[in-house]
Amino acid sequence: MADVSYKDLSLNGLWKNNPALVQLLGLCPLLAVSGTVVNALGLGVATTMVLILSNTSVSLIRNVVSDTVRLPTFVMIIASAVTCIELLMQAFAYELFLILGIFLPLITTNCVILGRADGFAAKHALGPSMYDGFIMGVGFAAVLVVLGGLRELTGTGALFANMDLLFGPAAADWKLVVFPNYQPFLLAILPPGAFIFTGLIIAVKNLIDAQIKKREAALKTDTVKESRRVRVTGTVS
């Protein structure tokens, strides 16, 4: 396997091959628990930690496990990583653990994690694998938080409510009321809102990509082989 640069990995995880926006993996938690920033951040952090743990372990054992049993092995590794994170969350963020409910254990079935384990960690050395897990998780969590922020803002007119669930009592007054006297827009908080906003985010990303492509095409000048430079002398007038 050819070595991969960390820069490429970062670009892939955060933008070009973003798990949520391009691969469209892990949509179930993405759509179900992105109602508020705190839920989104909680699940994003948990997923990132699981990704790092699973990518690390898979990369370590990649030369020992035979191809035929690799998938069950990976799933077991992922499941144990999820269990660790779940127990940690029970210990340090019990209320958030209750809110996220079934979606924490369901991280096991999140396709991003198995996809990265089988598609990347099983073929690469420890360093790049760990970094890939980290950056893919950050890419996923970033989309989750943006989505949660958009939905919380349009749904309730405020941002960062109940952050104390994740950051302790000090964060209790982080709530930022953007629009006072806001009429709650329930659709944004209900599941259809998640679909609509995910669609809009993907559309914005595609728009930006199209702009970048256009700019690159404009910068690049096509030279046909054996063409000659035109020599300009003097001015026309």
- State residue 23 phi and psi, 5-degree precision: -75, -20
> Rounded to an integer, what distance in angstroms lies between the CA atom of residue 161 and that of residue 52?
28
* CB neighbourhood size of 54 (10 A): 27
Which contiguous run of DSSP H or E holds residue 76?
helix 70-92
Q: Name residue 158's beta-bridge partners.
A: 177
167, 71 contact by CB (below 8 A): no
Least distance from other proteins to the Cβ atom of residue 202, Å: 13
Least distance from other proteins to the Cβ atom of residue 151, Å: 13
| Binding interface with other proteins (CB under 8 A) | 183, 185-188, 190, 196
- Quote the tokens at residue 130: 């760990």
Least distance from other proteins to the Cβ atom of residue 186, Å: 4
Nearer to other proteins, 98 or 200 (CB): 200
Longest dimension (CA), the chain: 82
Least distance from other proteins to the Cβ atom of residue 199, Å: 8
Nearer to other proteins, 87 or 186 (CB): 186
Nearer to other proteins, 84 or 187 (CB): 187
Least distance from other proteins to the Cβ atom of residue 187, Å: 4
Cα-based distances in Å from 42 to 82, 111, 131, 144: 14, 18, 20, 10
Nearer to other proteins, 186 or 208 (CB): 186
Nearer to other proteins, 135 or 188 (CB): 188
Cβ-based neighbours of 103, under 8 Å, separated by 6 or more: 28, 29, 32, 33, 43
Least distance from other proteins to the Cβ atom of residue 183, Å: 7
Nearer to other proteins, 130 or 188 (CB): 188
